[in-house]
Amino acid sequence: MVMQRDGDWCREVGSPFGAHVPRQLLRLARKTAAKCVVAVTAPARFWGMNQPLSPNRLLSRFIAYQAALEAYRLTAIATRRWRGFRRLVDQALGAAGSVTHCLAEGNGHPPRSADRCRYQRYALGSALELESALDDAAVARLGDLGELAAARTAAGRSAALCTALNRRW
């Protein structure tokens, strides 16, 4: 990941999301040992009533959700070549989809509410389940090892962000 500095902001060069991310948030996302995270969401460029939001892009700034979506995409690519392991394919894709669904549903609840925390815990469990399924595939040497390595990296990033979401004050 190549970062360009722009004042107090950093931008991932070549990122599929193209979002500006605060340096402190990137540092926190990389270190899962951080004490707490209020939300892993990139701040908007506009504040107040003038903030443009379109209904079909409400999750566009939610970094943990975007990372989970990328992990799902890469998992779907990697599992296409797993012949004879249909149960493991279903397990991996189900876990990857569950991470995105739980993060999205939890994001609809008020910050720090019990419901939001519960869905974030579910998302963490599913992210760890996805990592486990991909580790099983790596041990069995299923499919293309490059695609599998990319999916495992994305799943690890998703699990790290879900871990950061579950930190308490």
| pLDDT tens sequence across 85-101 | 999 999 999 999 999 99
Is domain 63-165 in CATH 1.20.1440.60, yes or no? yes
Over the chain, what is the mean pLDDT?
78
- 13: β partners: 2
> Residue 5: in which H helix or E strand, if any?
strand 2-6
Alpha carbons 18 and 32: distance in angstroms, whole number: 23
The structure's pTM equals: 0.67
> Residue 47: its pLDDT value, please?
43
Alpha carbons 30 and 48: distance in angstroms, whole number: 30
Alpha carbons 71 and 49: distance in angstroms, whole number: 33
Alpha carbons 3 and 30: distance in angstroms, whole number: 13
| pLDDT tens sequence across 52-72 | 555 567 788 899 999 999 999
For the chain, residues classed under CATH 1.20.1440.60 are 63-165
> Residue 40: its pLDDT value, please?
52
